[in-house]
A and B are shown apart, each in its own frame.
Chain A
Amino acid sequence: MGSSVSQAGAPPPHPPTYASTPPFAPAAADAADAAAAPPPKPHEEEATEEKVDYLNLPCPVPYEEIQREAFMALKPDLFEGMRFDLTKMITPYFALTHSVAMGSIEIPAQGSEVIKVPTSNYEFGANFINQRTMLMGRVSHEGRENIRVKHDITDNLSLKINAQLTSEPHYSQGMLNFDYKGKDFRSQVQFGNNGFYGANYIQSVSKNLSLGTEAFWLGQQRKSGVGVVARYDTKKMVATAQIATTGMVALSYVQKVSEKVSLASDFMYNQMTKDVTASFGYDYMLRQCRLRGKLDTNGVISSLLEERLTPGVTFQLSAELDHWKKDYKFGFGMALGE
């Protein structure tokens, strides 16, 4: 569940979703075009839009998932050392998982030197997945707990809960989420600890374009913000833009080159910290293996290979080189039963 909460911008102009009389359809289309960047072929777009059935637009992807294709390619689950995951199905709905991770973790150090210490971790998990309910729990041997709940209250209303509990005081977190799915829109209301409240709304504007907005309030920090997003996707490409009053600008673009290869790029800019990063990556899907790689402007090159040895047995190789910090991370792992 990708998370891009706490981003805001100017509220988007919201064109009307109905067009009762034919003469108004072109006007609505023009308004939509004005709201977003003008398309490269206005005449062709105009002709296409005259046939668009605005009463049957598809439902957009959830607000926090608008960048999911870029995330899949550019943010794989890299690791260092050794990883072993075992999933055991008890019944068709219930599964237990055991995860062992051993390797090095970076500790903060004065100067530019990178310092690591060896560490190891065991995690026990239980999953219950039903048509209407999903329960996932993870307990780490250090006492950390991770809980996720998803429950369909009605066909259109979902309840989601995320919680991370720790033994350290004041470090636990929780988030309650109500997700309403309309015919061609989605809205969410969120409640979190430390006085966090958030809401977002995303609407399909045309068959390929959806626009959304969000607002949030951090009570303890007495801070609020608004954000705006846009997503344009076809069968072959996905482009997204996100702006928030926190000064965050995020763009991403994913192009499907063939059935097996996708290329992805993203751009992040933070006006407050003047921090800027651009990444370029690829996602190569072969018959028995998947190879993802990425290169970014911080001098980081990384790669993750997942190969299915037999059904249910997956072998992983992870590599990450940070040339500027002179940090290198390499690991291998195995997953059974997924």
Chain B
Amino acid sequence: MGSVASAAAPPSPHSALPQEGAPPYGPGLAGILPQTSVGEEKKEEKVDYLNLLCPVPFEEIQREALMSLKPELFEGLRFDFTKGLNQKFSLSHSVFMGSLEVPAQGSETIKVPTAHYEFGANFLDPKLMLIGRVMTDGRLNARVKCDLTDNLMLKVNAQLTQEAHYSQGMFNFDYKGSDYRAQFQIGNNAFYGANYIQSVTPNLSMGTEMFWLGHQRKSGIGFACRYNTDKMVGTLQVASTGIVALSYVQKISEKVSLASDFMYNHMSRDVTSSFGYDYLLRQCRLRGKIDSNGVVAAYLEERLNMGVNFLLSAEIDHCKKNYKFGFGMTVGE
């Protein structure tokens, strides 16, 4: 669910709601928005600041870019089968067979064939969602989402393994206000986090987060900003861990979206930028991407019949000379 632990300077004072009818605040907002101040001034005089929309959750501010730029690429064969037992309960079976990259000395890439089977059970209710996955090597993945009240939601994520000290868990309380969201997170290894995001104008929302990793005795703060219209989404994220992330998605037409993102890590001096497209046709969806690490990827999903999808996945890493190709089928989704 998005990325925690990204923080930056304290949020702009504009996160506070300006009082309606206070003319001196109008020109100040123009400095933030990319539109002309005159036009902005006129529009702002009509904006109803007491009825702003609720922003997207903090960890999802980049969701449009992630959809285009990070499809679920795989190598080998993938087969997913979902069987609905009743309106709310379904079982799923997943088979994966392919190659797994193992760490190797030198720049050579080494792979070994691997295969695993995953069994899943899903329970979906308007107020409650339970998802469980068990794998052949004993790993268990559990997700719970429960609406405690109309505004308060509890989320639980857990990954349990047989290896000692490798299990993880996370509790998440999500409060949804009329034009803001707040979250409080508790995780194992003494992880505590909190974030808050507020709509500032109908198109702009800003947020902040902070976290504490008890075992590593490390803390951080982060800042996030999102501007979206019907046609575009732009996001910015800065954190005291040294992460800077920008993304921009433009909807060219009803069927085509273009996406780009930029990641910079001040600590490791690592920088990556990506460009991708998302092509939605009547019976298929094609996503592709190219990034500055020399990776070219494409992912095709085609609906053969109602409930039967055919998948093709391709990823070429020119710098590392690594190639991954796979095909698969999804039945029953």
Contact = CB atoms under 8 A, between A and B. Distances in A.
Interface of A: 81-82, 102-104, 113-120, 317, 319, 321, 326-328, 330-332
B202 interface: no
Interface stretch (B16-24, B104-112, B163-171): B104-112
B327 A120 contact: no
23 contacts: A81-B325, A102-B323, A102-B325, A103-B323, A104-B323, A115-B112, A116-B110, A116-B111, A116-B112, A116-B113, A117-B108, A118-B109, A118-B321, A118-B323, A120-B321, A319-B77, A321-B97, A326-B115, A328-B76, A328-B115, A331-B325, A332-B325, A332-B327
Nearest to A319: B77
Contacts of A319: 77
Nearest to A81: B325
Nearest to A333: B325
Interface residues of B, number: 24
A119 B312 CA distance: 20
Contact of A330 (B76, B111, B314): B76
Contacts of A81: 323, 325
B326 interface: yes
Contacts of B324: 118
B322 interface: yes
Interface of B: 75-77, 97-99, 108-115, 312, 314, 316, 321-327
A287 B259 CA distance: 41
A310 to B, nearest CB: 16
Contacts of B316: 102
A328 B323 CA distance: 16
Contact of B327 (A102, A114, A317, A328): A317
Given A114-B113, A115-B111, A117-B110, A330 B77 contact: yes
B9 to A, nearest CB: 43
Given A114-B112, A330-B77, A331-B325, 18 more contacts: A81-B325, A102-B323, A103-B325, A104-B111, A113-B112, A115-B110, A115-B111, A116-B111, A118-B324, A119-B323, A120-B321, A317-B327, A327-B113, A328-B99, A330-B76, A330-B97, A330-B98, A330-B325
B321 A328 contact: no
A117 B111 contact: yes
A321 B99 CA distance: 12
Interface centre among B97, B110, B113, B324 (most CB of A within 10 A): B113
Nearest to B111: A116
For A103, A326, A328, the residue with the greatest tally of chain B CB atoms inside 10 Å of its CB is A328
Contacts of B111: 104, 115-118
A104 B113 CA distance: 10
Contact of A332 (B109, B110, B112, B312): B312
A328 B112 contact: no
A100 to B, nearest CB: 11
Q: Specify which of B97, B114, B323, B326 lies most central, judged by the most chain A CB atoms within 10 Å of its CB.
A: B323
Contacts of A116: 99, 110-113
A328 B110 contact: no
A45 B53 CA distance: 90
Nearest to A328: B97
Contacts of A331: 325
Given A116-B111, A330-B76, A82 B97 contact: no
A336 to B, nearest CB: 17
A319 to B, nearest CB: 6
B77 A328 contact: yes
Given A102-B316, A116-B99, A118-B323, A328 B109 contact: no
Contacts of B326: 330
In order of increasing CB-CB distance, the 4 nearest A-B pairs are A102-B323, A328-B97, A82-B325, A116-B111
Contacts of A328: 76-77, 97-99, 113-115
A102 B108 CA distance: 16
A115 B108 CA distance: 12
A106 to B, nearest CB: 9
Contacts of A82: 314, 323, 325
Contacts of B325: 81-82, 102-103, 330-332
A76 B110 CA distance: 27
